[in-house]
Amino acid sequence: MRQEKPPLIVIVDDELKLAKLMAQCLNETGIKTRIFENSQDAIDFLSAHFVNLILLDVNLPHISGFSLLRQLRDKNIKVPVIFVTGNSLDENKVKGLNMGGDDYITKPFSYPELAARVRAVLRRTETKGDLAIAGNISLSDAPFTFCGAEVKPQRLEITMPGESPKKVGRKEIGIMAHFSVNEGEIISRKALIHAVWGMHANVQSRSLDQYVVKVREFCRMSKTGVNALRTIHGIGYVFDPDGKFSNPKSS
């Protein structure tokens, strides 16, 4: 029987003694940890590795934990975050949560409390992940329109006007969703892969092309036609159902 891989948590804190104590506490509960004392080392690691959660000190030496989280989100690194700080002001807690933090723990704290909060966030993340269709859409998302058709993520269906619903794959729905919210904009192949498969996905160009061909088929079946989704050679794609985008290198 294959054992479940233990979660990996990154601790970003310039107080090395405290960071090691947090790591020891979590290690004893079966959680793996990595410690970083500065933001750049943390960003470099997170850009290249999948982790389950970040324990992020607000008061880092060069940039704040808030700024670090903003940089991660700009890079489309969507890792759950628990802020750790000695500042108990409510406005800082609210700021951290509004920025996308998942929880907030104030120093001094007990290590059983830390472990409990970490486990709670991991459980919430796992539950949310169960609903995921692709990296950018889940079963709980509302229906949306693509090429005049109604796409229902919760049923994995697409319905053309006047026709019966048809089943559609998860990745195709993710691609449709990404194009529908970026209509008229050039989307690079890399950006599309990151949005639908995730930041660290290893997706070959041939695989992406196969999914785009399937999505184009839905365009062909609709009133917008196959030209609604065009290739921008050397770059990526543009979803242009109204024919407003003009580029001589598109097809």
Domain boundaries, the chain: 8-130, 137-239
Contacts of residue 32, Cβ cutoff 8 Å, sequence gap at least 6: 6, 7, 8, 9
Provide the pLDDT for residue 250: 62
For domain 137-239, the CATH architecture is Orthogonal Bundle (1.10)
Q: Do domains 8-130 and 137-239 have the same CATH topology?
A: no
- Is the pLDDT score of 2 beyond 50? no
Query: For residue 251, what pLDDT band results from cuts at 50, 70 and 90?
Result: low
- DSSP letter string over the chain? -PPPPPPEEEEE-S-HHHHHHHHHHHHTTT-EEEEESSHHHHHHHHHHS--SEEEEES--SSS-HHHHHHHHHHTT----EEEEES---HHHHHHHHHTT-SEEEESS--HHHHHHHHHHHHHHHHHHHHTEEETTEETTSPPEEETTEEEEGGGTEEE-TTS--EE--HHHHHHHHHHHHTTTSEEEHHHHHHHHH-TT----HHHHHHHHHHHHHHHHHSTT-GGGEEEETTTEEEE-TTS----TTB-
- Is the pLDDT score of 196 beyond 80? yes
Provide the pLDDT for residue 162: 87
Choices 3.60.40.10, 3.40.50.300, 1.20.1370.20, 3.40.50.2300: CATH for 8-130: 3.40.50.2300
Query: Whose CA is closest to 50, among 90, 20, 10?
Result: 10
The mean pLDDT of 116-139, rounded to a whole number, is 77
